[in-house]
Amino acid sequence: MDGKAIERFTYTQYDGDESRQVERPVVREAPWTIHVNGQELVTLLCTPDKLNFLVLGFLVAEGVIEGLDDVLLLQVCEDQEGVIDVKLNGPEPSPRGRPLLLSGCGRGITFDDLSGSQHKIESSLQVSAPQIARLMRELRSQSPIHRAAGGTHASALSDGERLLVVAEDVGRHNTLDKIRGECLFHGIPTKDRLLLTTGRISSEMVSKAAKMEVPIVASRSTPTDLALNLARDWQMTIVGYVRSGKMNLYSRPDRVLNR
């Protein structure tokens, strides 16, 4: 965990008739502006942890780059906090479509038409309900920012047996970009994997998972109706309310086994 992800904050705590001053950690939320080849592209509100992976994941998700070879330099500017400078090997392509603000805390942005040309996800991956429950418990135990300060979402990519990559952020969508960027950097395949998240499964979460060719998305929380409509169109499995061994299967339940 990057120490810059947490700040100490002093506040007044009431307990019945008593009050006291306490100093506790709080999670950071800060704007970071991405410049590509000297041109400002977008400003992201995020938790400043794994920023390099967040930028890589965002750029590949938005079609600005196709892979790591397209990136000549990626620099988080220490002397100019809030700026991330990216230089590409060639002129950057324009992101597709009009900007679309994403829902939820830690507001993000995508240039996608979420109802567009994403192909159906074909996968033979199957996992058991007990595996999903165990992996969700492991995700909660591997979330150091949340344990220290609260206020973050956590997501993880799994092969069904273990957590491969874990990310935390104030924005649900940022966690998936961080995961995709880290996988890109380390050469970890995302196809035919399982994504777990503590936050709501919204349409942008399903869209980002589909671009990673992930067939199963599981959450401790609920999916939205648009997320379910997209998942059904794209043949993805959505699992919600994974808690205490219970869970709801909303689409393609054949990928989740009883045991």
Examine residue 24 and state whether it is found in any structural domain, yes or no: no
> Is residue 156, in this structure, part of any structural domain at all?
yes
- Domain identity same for 67 and 152: no
> 133 with 106, same domain?
no
pLDDT reading at 81 higher than 90: no
Give 23-58 pLDDT, tens digit per residue: 999 999 999 999 999 999 999 999 999 999 999 999
Number of domains within the chain: 2
pLDDT in tens, 129-159: 999 999 999 999 999 999 999 899 999 999 9
- CA–CA dist 120, 158 (Å, integer): 21
Domain boundary, last residue among 83, 110, 137: 110
Specify whether 144 is located in the same domain as 249.
yes
Q: What is the CATH number of the domain that holds 99?
A: 3.10.20.10
Res 96 pLDDT > 90? no
Asked whether residue 234 is assigned to any structural domain, the reply reads yes
Last residue of a domain, one of 110, 140, 155: 110
* CA dihedral of 216, 186, 53, 144, whole degrees rounded to 10: 70
pLDDT at 45: 93
DSSP state of 255: G
Does residue 105 register a pLDDT over 80?
no
**Model's pTM, two decimal places?**
0.89
CATH at 186: 3.40.140.10
Burial track 142-176 (b if 16+ CB lie within 10 A, e otherwise): ebbbbebbebbbbbbbbeeeebbbbbbbbbbbbbb
Distance CA 102, CA 18 (A): 41
The answer to whether residues 98 and 39 belong to one domain is: yes
Tokens of 79: 């002397």
Q: Measured between alpha carbons, how far is 89 from 84 in angstroms, rounded to an integer?
A: 17
Cβ burial of 101 (10 Å; 0-12, 13-18, 19+) is exposed
How far apart (Å, rounded) are the C-alpha atoms in residues 168 and 142?
10
CA-CA distance, 232 to 229, in Å (whole number)? 5
Q: What pLDDT score was predicted for residue 1?
A: 57
In a domain, 119, yes or no: no
Is residue 183 in a domain?
yes
Q: Are residues 64 and 143 in the same domain?
A: no
The pLDDT assigned to 101 comes to 43
Residues 131 and 195 in one domain: yes
Same domain, residue pair 140 and 228: yes
Domain assignment present for 55: yes
Could you tell me whether strands 216-219 and 237-243 are parallel, antiparallel, or unpaired per DSSP bridges?
Answer: parallel
Q: What are the percentages of helix, strand and coil residues in the chain, rounded to 5? A: 30, 35, 35
Catalytically active residues, by annotation = 105
Residue 259: per-residue pLDDT: 82
- Specify whether 74 is located in the same domain as 186: no
State which residues form the domain around 193: 127-257
- Do 142 and 242 belong together in one domain? yes
